[in-house]
Structure 1
Amino acid sequence: MKQNILKPLTALSVIVFLAACSKDKKAEQQSNTITIENVLDSKPLVESGTFKGTGAPPVILPGQSVSFTFSAAKNQRLTFSTMYGWSNDLFFAPENPGIKLYNDDGTPITGDVSTQIKLWDNGTRVNQAPGMNVTHPGTAVTTPQNIKEVMSTDDYGNTYLPASSLIKVSLAYSGNSTFTATIMNTSGGTSNETPFSPGVWAISYVAGGNLLLPEPIYSANKPTANGLTDIAEMGDNTALSTYLTGITGIFTPLSPILVVVYDGSENPFYKVGENDRAEGLKDLAQKGSADALAAVLKTKAGVKNVYVLPAPTSTVLLPKINGADGGKVSQLLNIVAGDRIAIATMYGFSNDWFFATTGNGIDATQKGDVSGSVGLFDDGTAINQFPGAGITQFNLAGTPLQENIPIQAVPNPNSFTTLPDLTKIIKVTLQ
C-alpha cells in the first residue's frame, strides 16, 4: 500500500522539478536588438593631387614634362587642369568626364591620349592675343561668362592651334591598376608657344557603374567654381587643390551583415594568423555574399542562431552621401547569459577586406555602442589593390586575383590610403 502511494508522489515530484527548471531557464532568457549602421561620411573622389614643374617659378616650359601616378578601375576617368600660361584665363583639361583608361574589354589604355585634351576659356577675363606680352590678370569681363571650349578662335578673334598640338598626354601602365600620366609641353616653336602652370588632377569613384562626380574640376557651359579661376588667371593651383582634397577620401558600401549568436570560446568563422577555412568567408570578403558561410555556421556546435541582414531597399548598406543617412539593419536576438555575438561584412570597395568582431566576439547581454569591438581584416585570398580603384575588385566588375596568405588586420595607414577610425565607418549597437 505504501509503495502505491509513493509512486504517484515520485512522479509528481519529477513534474514539479522539471517545471521549475523550465521556469528558471525562461527567466534566464533575454532579448537584445543588434543594429549595424554604415556611418561613413563618404567622399566622391577616390584620389586627387597636384603637379608642377621643377624650376622657380615651377611652371612647365616648352620641352619639359611632369608625371604623376594613380590607380583606377574600369569606368573611372582621369581629369586635370593646367593654365595656358601666356593667356588671360585659358586652361587645358580633358573633355568631361575625363580621359578613358581602359578599353571595353578591360585592357588598360596606354600611349598618347592627347586628342582627349581641349583648350577652355574660363570666361572671367578679356582675352588678349596670346603670348609672352599678355598682361596678368588683365581686364575683367563686365559679366562673367560660362566656361566654353576654344576652337580655332576665341570670342575676341585670337587664333589657337588644337590643344593636342600644344600638350601631349601619355599613359603608362605598371600593373595592378596603377597608371602613370605624363604631361609634356609641346608648344615650343608653334604660334601658340606657352608655359603651363602647376595643375591639379582627380579620379572619381564609380558606384553602380556611374561616376559619383563626373565633373570635379569644371563644367562646360556653366560658371567657373571652386578655385579654378586662380589656375586659369594666375596659374595658382592652391585653392582648387584644397577643394579637391576636401572631397577626396573613402567611399564604400557594406555587404549584407552576417550576425552569429554562439556560446563557444572563440569566433566560429575566422582567426587572425590562420588561413581562410574555405567555409564561405572568402565569398563574403571578396563578393559580399554571406550565404555560404551562414549555411556552414548553422551546422557548427555551439552556434545558436545565424542571420544575414540585407538593407531593405539597396541590399548593401550605403554610406552617408551628401548628408543623407547611411544604410542600417537591425535584428532581435533571443539570448542567455554566456552567449556571444560575432558579425562580419565586406568592405565593399576592396579585393578581400572584411569587418568583423575581434577576439571572441561581443557579450550578447551587453548594452550600448559596441563599435570598438569591430576590426578590419584582410582575408588573404585576393591580391590587394587601391580600395575603390582596383580593376580586379568584384564590386567594380572585376575578377579577384587569387593569393593564399594568413588573415591579418589591415594596417592604417596602409600602402594605399589612410582610413578614418573604424567607428566612423561602421557602428554596432546593442539595446
Structure 2
Amino acid sequence: MSTIKKIRKTASYAFLCAGSIALLASCNNDDMIAETRTNTITIENVLDAKPLVESGTFMGKGTPPVIFPGQSISIEFYAAAGQALSFATMYGWSNDLFFAPENPGINLYSSDGTPLTGDVSTQIKLWDNGTRINQSPGMQVTHPGAAELAPNNISEINGKDAQGNSYLPASQLMKATLAYQGDSRFKLTIENKSGGTPNETPFSPGVWTVSYAPGGDILDKMPIYTKGQHAANGLTNIAEMGDNTVMDRYLHGMTGIFTPLSPVLVVVYKGDENPFYKTGEKDRSEGLSNLAQTGNADILASKLATKPGVKKVYVLKQSTSTVLLPRIGNAEGGKVMQQLDIEKGDRIAIATMYGLSNDWFYATKGNGIDATRKGDVSDELSLYDNGTKKDQYPGANIRIDLSGMPLGESEPIQEVPNPNVFSTLPQIVKVTLN
C-alpha cells in the first residue's frame, strides 16, 4: 500500500471515530435530544369556606348605648341576589324577648335581580327566647327575672306571650327601611317607633349578618336563631341582657371567604411568554374574559390550541360538580388531576375563575411554571383582575346595574393586591406537580 493510501485510510478512520464520539456525546446531551417524560398536575381548592359574607354589630349613640323611642341606627352591608340580611336586638323592657327577621332574613332582591328598597318592617318579628318567665313588659321589668325551670324553645309572639301579656306586631314598634347605594351595597335603617304605644321599649345593642347564597341557595338559613329550638351561641345574652359580645364573636368566626373555582385551563407550551395574558395589557378578546367572567374556559382553550408553541391544552372539570368547591365542614375541597407529557424547556400555564367575583381569575405568573418542576408550585400563581367588569365585593357581587346595563369596563389586566379593598384572602388554590 502506498504512503498516500495509508494516510487517507488513517484519516478516514479517525474521522469516523471522531464522528462516533460526537454522536455518542450528543445522545447524552438533553439540550440536543429531547426526552419525553410525564408529570402529573393536581389543582385543588383548599379554602376552608365560611358561610357568612359579612357580620357586625350595632348600638345606640348614647349612654347606655341603646336605641330609645324616636332614635334610629343604620347598618351598611354588601349583598348579592339570593342573599338575605338577618339581625337580632333585645326588646329592652322585657325579660327575654328579641326582634329579628323571619329566617333566613330580609329579602334584598326581587325575582328579576332588582335590589329592593323601602319599608321592610313587615318582615320583622318578635320572639320569645324561652329562658325567662315573662313579666308584664315595661320599665318596671326586673332583670334578669325568674328563670324557666327548663329552657323553652324559641317561639314567635303573636299578640300574647305564654303568660298572657299583650304585644303589638313588631312592625308597629320597629320600622326597618332599605336603601340601595349601588355596587351591591345596601343601608338598613332601624327606627324605634314604639314611643307612646302600650309596648314602648328601647332596643339593645344587636348583631347582624349576611349569608352566602351560591347558586341562589343560602348557606346558613338560620345564622342567629332557630325557631322551635333552644337559643345558642350567645343569643340568650342578647335576649336577656342586651349583651351582643358573645354572639358577635360567634358570627365573626363564621364570617369570611367562600368561593368555588371554575373548570381549570391547563396549557403546555414552549416560548418566552404566557400564551394568553400579560399584566398591563388589556384582554386579548381570545376567551380569557369568558373564563374570568363566567368560568367558561372552552373558548380560550380552542383559541390556544391553534397558537404556535402551544403543545397541549386541557380544561379540567370536577366530575361531580364541574366547579371546584371549597372545603365545607368535613368535606374536602374540589380537586382535578391531569398527566402531562413534557420535555425539557416546556412551560405550564393555568387559569381558573375566582367564582364569586365579577372577573377575577387565578393564573400562573409571568411565563408560567417549568414543566419539569416537582412538588408544591402554588407560589407561582397569583390572583388577577381581567379589567372587563367593574369590581365589587367578592361573594356579594351582582352582574348588572339598576338600569339593567352590564357592569362592563376596559382596563388593563392587573394583579389583585392582598389585602384588597374588600378583604384579605387566604390561600385558595393549591397546585402540585409530581
Which TM-score tier does this pair reach, normalised by the shorter chain?
Answer: over 0.9
Secondary structure, aligned partner of 2:74: strand
Measured in 2, the distance between the counterparts of 1:75 and 1:335 equals: 45
**Partner deviation per Cα, 1:83-121 (whole Å, 9 max, x = no partner):** 000000000000111111111122211111001100000
**Partner deviation per Cα, 1:12-43 (whole Å, 9 max, x = no partner):** x99xx89x979978872111100000000000
Instruction: Report the CA distance shift for 1:297/1:161 in structure 2 as closer, same or farther (over 3 A).
Output: same
Deviation at 1:323, TM superposition (A): 2.2
Q: Which residue of 1 aligns with 2:384?
A: 377
Pick the aligned partner of 1:62 from 46, 64, 69. 69
* Structure 2 counterparts to residues 371-410 of structure 1, below 5 A: 371-392=378-399, 400-410=406-416
* Structure 2 counterparts to residues 9-408 of structure 1, below 5 A: 28-392=35-399, 400-408=406-414
Measured in 1, the distance between the counterparts of 2:201 and 2:355 equals: 45
Give the counterpart letter for 1:430 in structure 2. L
Measured in 2, the distance between the counterparts of 1:267 and 1:317 equals: 24
Q: Which residue of 1 aligns with 2:425?
A: 419
Instruction: Report the CA distance shift for 1:327/1:143 in structure 2 as closer, same or farther (over 3 A).
Output: same
Is the CA contact 1:286–1:400 (under 8 Å) kept in the aligned structure 2? Answer: no
Correspondence 1:430 to 2:433: yes
TM-score normalised according to structure 1 size: 0.92
| More divergent stretch after superposition (74-83 vs 410-419) | 410-419
Measured in 2, the distance between the counterparts of 1:188 and 1:59 equals: 14
Is the CA contact 1:381–1:404 (under 8 Å) kept in the aligned structure 2? Answer: yes
Moved over 3 A (4+): 20-27
Measured in 1, the distance between the counterparts of 2:113 and 2:65 equals: 36
Measured in 2, the distance between the counterparts of 1:409 and 1:196 equals: 45
**Partner deviation per Cα, 1:183-224 (whole Å, 9 max, x = no partner):** 000001111000000001111101232100011000111111
Measured in 1, the distance between the counterparts of 2:34 and 2:281 equals: 39
Is the CA contact 2:81–2:216 (under 8 Å) kept in the aligned structure 1? Answer: no
Bigger Rg, which one: 2
Measured in 1, the distance between the counterparts of 2:411 and 2:384 equals: 12
Instruction: Report the CA distance shift for 1:324/1:69 in structure 2 as closer, same or farther (over 3 A).
Output: same
Measured in 2, the distance between the counterparts of 1:366 and 1:287 equals: 31
Instruction: Report the CA distance shift for 1:296/1:316 in structure 2 as closer, same or farther (over 3 A).
Output: same
Deviation at 1:391, TM superposition (A): 2.1
Secondary structure, aligned partner of 1:208: helix
Give the counterpart letter for 2:243 in structure 1. D
Is the CA contact 2:99–2:127 (under 8 Å) kept in the aligned structure 1? Answer: yes
Is the CA contact 2:183–2:398 (under 8 Å) kept in the aligned structure 1? Answer: yes
Secondary structure, aligned partner of 1:28: coil
Deviation at 1:300, TM superposition (A): 0.9
Measured in 1, the distance between the counterparts of 2:82 and 2:96 equals: 31
The answer for unaligned runs of 5 or more in structure 2 is: 1-15
Give the counterpart letter for 2:147 in structure 1. A
Measured in 2, the distance between the counterparts of 1:193 and 1:368 equals: 66
Measured in 1, the distance between the counterparts of 2:397 and 2:312 equals: 35
Measured in 2, the distance between the counterparts of 1:333 and 1:104 equals: 45
**Partner deviation per Cα, 1:67-96 (whole Å, 9 max, x = no partner):** 011111111111100000000000000011
Deviation at 1:176, TM superposition (A): 1.4
Over aligned residues, Cα RMSD in angstroms? 2.1
The answer for unaligned runs of 5 or more in structure 1 is: 1-9
- Count the aligned residue pairs: 412
Measured in 2, the distance between the counterparts of 1:412 and 1:184 equals: 37
TM-score normalised according to structure 2 size: 0.91
Measured in 2, the distance between the counterparts of 1:67 and 1:416 equals: 20
| More divergent stretch after superposition (203-212 vs 141-150) | 203-212
Give the counterpart letter for 1:410 in structure 2. V
Deviation at 1:333, TM superposition (A): 0.7
Q: Percent identity?
A: 67
Deviation at 1:63, TM superposition (A): 0.5
Q: Which residue of 2 aligns with 1:4?
A: none
Measured in 2, the distance between the counterparts of 1:137 and 1:404 equals: 60
